[in-house]
Structure 1
Amino acid sequence: MSTKLPTEADILRPIQNTSKKYFILFGAAALALGIFLVGWMYQLSEGMIVTGLSDWGSSGGSPWGVYIGAFIWWVGIAHGGIILSAAVRLLGMDRYMPVARLAELLTIGGLSAAGFYIIVHMGRPDRMVTSVLGHYHITVNNSPLVWDVTVITAYFVLTATYLSLTIRYDITRLRDELPDRFEPFYKFMTIGYTEKEDEVIERMVWWIALAIIIMAPLLLHGGVIPWLFSLIPTMPAWAGAIQGPQFLTIALTSAISGVIILSYAFRWAYDWDHIITDDVFRGLTLWLGFFSLLFIWLQLHQVIDGSFLATASKTHATEAKVSNPFYLIPIATVTGVLAYIFAQAIRPSLFSKKRAIAISFLVLGSTLVEKTFFVVEGLLHPEFSMYEAVPGVYVPSLIEFSSILGTVGLVTLMFLVVAKVIPVVELHAVEHMQEGHGPGHESTRESATKPEVSHD
């Protein structure tokens, strides 16, 4: 591990230095987003018929597919990211301070991508105004769509507030080194700032982190979104109280994988070996293993519950699931990742950052396939079918596949732009490491119920 201490110049490097690799990545991300936007324009022109989606009835198929599966995936990444950041602040997990803001920004990006999917899947963007906003006071009581919009909006505002409070400190102290072209933004973000507010902001952020930890299992990816599936008894593949914790574990595995990839990318690009250390990657990999274990364990519960003395419809849905490669391959992949992490814990020499990146990509791909399969398979095996003679078939279209690359490009562009405006590593993290605590130090709280004010 490097003994070099981080400096303010280190975290300013992404803002001040722009390489050819930056422009290449920016161009690739913009191209990916552009390809999807072209496909979306074609979809708007010709209608949803150009996708692999279709209504139930004589046409067979499934009305939900990649769009909804990827929506759940992005929401999970977003919620898991902010939970990780909140845990760092709330529990004093100082080892992960250098990646806390990356997790917060991942939440903003994930929620933006998820919100975009809602608009895309509605078929006509104007329905967001005519069907949702215009009749919100009526539809909020009984519309799953409006519940999704409400939850995403609430969490976006909460996360944006959380992030805005923490960057005031950084902008004020680093202002002389920040680019003048963003002066209006910096002035807006630091309106009324005084050093006296630091203690108040620290307490506010602590309480917001506490609210996030409480809300996660109740209203967010452990609550509202899985409730929209688990409370539908006519869909035996969805129904059941286990969907809440299952969604939450998938969210956390996806988010930790995303943070590992982001952390490695910034470390590699800006020589941050002494900021985002190997110890951070080891810790994140172990947490990935823990939540992967919960993910597999809850999947096993669902399979057993659907196989042993279950109703005929649930048994049928379970048999269809466990015989499908689009379910077996993701589960086998996550199980293999779990085995590697377990072996690494026993024999630390097996750890490497490249392996951590590889398994993170495998987990992200597996959770995306599993969520899409969950949505489609649940719709294809309802309790009662009016169209038994028509087999259900769903094949994603190129437009739907391009949406995944497009939203990844969208989130990548967001990181590339934000990294040129504000530090993606908090100044507090640098100050903490400079004071000699080290990135692997775990601070303790005097009280589990009171926030401890600290500027380290």
Structure 2
Amino acid sequence: MSVDVTGVDRDTLLRPVRSVSKRYLVALAVAVGLIGVWLAFYYQQLRHGLIVTNLSDWGSGGGVPWGLYIGAFIWWVGIAHGGIILSAAVRLLGMDTYQPVARLAELLTIAALTCAGIFILIHVGRPDRLVTSVIPAWPTRVQWSPLTWDVTVITAYFVLTATYLGLTIRYDVHRLRDRLPDRFDPLYRALLVGYSEKEDAVVERMVWWIAFAIIIMAPLLLHGGVIPWLFSLLPSMAGWAGGVQGPSFLSIALTSAVSGIIIISAAFRYAYGWEELIPDAVFHGLGKWLGFFSLIFLWLQLQQVITGIFAAPTTLQHAAEVKISTPLYWVAIGLVAVAMLYAFATSLRPDLFSVRALVGLSVGVLAGTLAEKVLFVVEGLQHAHLDVYAGVPGPYVPSAIEISALLGTIGVVVLFFLVVSKVIPVVELHAIEDDHEEVNP
């Protein structure tokens, strides 16, 4: 399936840059409000320490030194990695159908990586600990520190994505300069330093190779490698250890990323009347990918449950039994399963498809994958081989400060898109051009 949007003019492409609506201002106010609430709570953490979150050596009620902070960190990293994987696949595999949303996926990666970094910052307690703890250990002792590995992975992916995005933006800014706002002229001049149209073919090759590197690194080193390895190589945590964690993390990343792209694409389409630029066919295709990745996610969850309850070591069986007895876990699984079933149903009956329904289900998928990651972290700590928290009563309950951080980072993502959309086109110019040819190495 291919989507022809070459009839869309450049003025349509630049609507977000050249207009400010009441809906934009409302979204801006909401984003700033969420960030403001989080900063107010974060000030209390800076003032009094992590004790205000109840996350300490003995944890909140059930012995959980890691909670929503780390669960949300994994969630944001997954969204970031999945987003750039999808964008890279569009360029590497010639998936022109999704070219109208490729840059949105790249921008989502930048925003999500920023939020992941924020959670590292706030979880170490004081910001200066990044200087006193991480920098001295990086890179000489990176192999011993999960925290330093987290920073390394985020930094590597941020550099790759920023380079990827920066190279493709130059082409658009050069050709749309006379239509872009003059107030950002210093920024555009900086972006176009040394630019010549002769570099376009070279840039295409460079971007192709970066996309190739991203596709290779994702399952081997990034969200299919380092992040799950930090958990799966800890044999003392029965719920974490095991080779299934790598593919499980990667499937959750792709599922979450597709959901995020669907939501953001639908928001821009609704706000700027982009039905022609981002047609239903794009969402229908994204829905199929959501269904496929959801199926893989659910299948891998089944593998973990089956191996955990059938003739498993005592501690692993206990961890698995606790998981399947937790109502929130089944809510998370149900949200993903409903999205999968809807995607498959609309493949058989296209008349059932609705962008609004797909967006609603995507929100549910994001909530479900976040819940699964938080439960993964919390229950892995609560039900370890060495029951160091025995006798500590009560379940883990996220504090208001932790919840405010999650809402604040969502506000950061919204604010990021609101600001960026006023500076550069969030859809590549190539998406509406009919004279662009892929350049392969």
Alignment of 1:91-170 (within 5 A): 91-170=93-172
8 Å CA contact 2:63–2:389 kept in 1: the answer is no
**CA, structure 1 residues 23+261, in 2 after alignment: closer, same or farther (shift >3 Å)?**
same
Q: Distance in 1 between matches of 2:161 and 2:298?
A: 29
Q: Distance in 1 between matches of 2:156 and 2:71?
A: 21
Decide which of 271, 274, 292 is 2:273's aligned counterpart. Answer: 271
Q: Which residue of 1 aligns with 2:185?
A: 183
Amino acid across the alignment from 1:452: N
Q: Distance in 2 between matches of 1:293 and 1:287?
A: 10
Where does the alignment leave 5 or more consecutive residues of structure 2 unmatched? Answer: none
Q: Distance in 2 between matches of 1:57 and 1:374?
A: 16
Q: Which residue of 1 aligns with 2:298?
A: 296
8 Å CA contact 1:281–1:353 kept in 2: the answer is yes
**CA, structure 1 residues 408+152, in 2 after alignment: closer, same or farther (shift >3 Å)?**
same
Q: Distance in 2 between matches of 1:283 and 1:59?
A: 45
| Cα shift at 1:390 | 2.5
Q: Which residue of 1 aligns with 2:430?
A: 428
8 Å CA contact 2:239–2:380 kept in 1: the answer is yes
In the alignment, is residue 452 of structure 1 matched against residue 440 of structure 2? yes
Q: Distance in 2 between matches of 1:148 and 1:405?
A: 22
Decide which of 390, 395, 398 is 1:396's aligned counterpart. Answer: 398
Name the SS of the counterpart of 2:144 in structure 1.
coil
Amino acid across the alignment from 2:349: R
In the alignment, is residue 307 of structure 1 matched against residue 295 of structure 2? no
Q: Distance in 2 between matches of 1:203 and 1:209?
A: 10
Name the SS of the counterpart of 1:134 in structure 2.
helix
Alignment of 1:4-15 (within 5 A): 5-15=7-17
Amino acid across the alignment from 1:285: G
Q: Distance in 2 between matches of 1:184 and 1:412?
A: 25
Amino acid across the alignment from 1:219: L
Q: Distance in 1 between matches of 2:32 and 2:392?
A: 41
Q: Which residue of 2 aligns with 1:324?
A: 326
Amino acid across the alignment from 1:120: I
Q: Which residue of 2 aligns with 1:203?
A: 205
Name the SS of the counterpart of 1:130 in structure 2.
helix
| Cα shift at 1:344 | 1.4
8 Å CA contact 2:5–2:432 kept in 1: the answer is no
| Cα shift at 1:388 | 2.4
Q: Distance in 2 between matches of 1:236 and 1:326?
A: 20
8 Å CA contact 2:63–2:382 kept in 1: the answer is yes
Q: Distance in 2 between matches of 1:81 and 1:259?
A: 7
Alignment of 1:349-360 (within 5 A): 349-360=351-362
Q: Distance in 1 between matches of 2:59 and 2:192?
A: 57
Q: Which residue of 2 aligns with 1:376?
A: 378
Decide which of 75, 87, 90 is 2:89's aligned counterpart. Answer: 87
8 Å CA contact 1:56–1:62 kept in 2: the answer is yes
Q: Distance in 1 between matches of 2:309 and 2:35?
A: 42
Q: Which residue of 2 aligns with 1:224?
A: 226
Q: Provide the TM-score with structure 2 as the length reference.
A: 0.97
Q: Which residue of 2 aligns with 1:440?
A: none
Decide which of 72, 80, 101 is 1:70's aligned counterpart. Answer: 72
Q: Distance in 1 between matches of 2:389 and 2:70?
A: 23
Query: CA offsets per residue over residues 186-221 of structure 1, 9 Å max, x none?
Result: 111111111110000000000000000000001111
8 Å CA contact 1:217–1:223 kept in 2: the answer is yes
| Cα shift at 1:56 | 3.3
In the alignment, is residue 238 of structure 1 matched against residue 240 of structure 2? yes
Amino acid across the alignment from 1:146: T
Q: Which residue of 1 aligns with 2:257?
A: 255
Q: Distance in 1 between matches of 2:99 and 2:155?
A: 26
| Cα shift at 1:402 | 1.0
**CA, structure 1 residues 3+263, in 2 after alignment: closer, same or farther (shift >3 Å)?**
closer
Amino acid across the alignment from 1:24: V
Decide which of 22, 30, 33 is 1:31's aligned counterpart. Answer: 33
| Cα shift at 1:392 | 5.8
| Cα shift at 1:61 | 2.0
Q: Distance in 2 between matches of 1:342 and 1:135?
A: 48
Where does the alignment leave 5 or more consecutive residues of structure 1 unmatched? Answer: 438-442, 446-450
8 Å CA contact 1:57–1:386 kept in 2: the answer is no
Query: CA offsets per residue over residues 212-234 of structure 1, 9 Å max, x none?
Result: 00000011110000000000111
8 Å CA contact 2:5–2:431 kept in 1: the answer is no
**CA, structure 1 residues 386+65, in 2 after alignment: closer, same or farther (shift >3 Å)?**
closer
| Cα shift at 1:411 | 0.7
What is the aligned-residue RMSD (CA, Å)? 1.7
Q: How many residues align?
A: 439
8 Å CA contact 1:140–1:147 kept in 2: the answer is yes
8 Å CA contact 2:170–2:195 kept in 1: the answer is yes
Q: Distance in 1 between matches of 2:423 and 2:194?
A: 20
Query: CA offsets per residue over residues 81-127 of structure 1, 9 Å max, x none?
Result: 00010000000000000000000000000000000000000001000
| Cα shift at 1:2 | 10
Query: CA offsets per residue over residues 243-297 of structure 1, 9 Å max, x none?
Result: 0000000000100000001111111111111110000000000000000000000
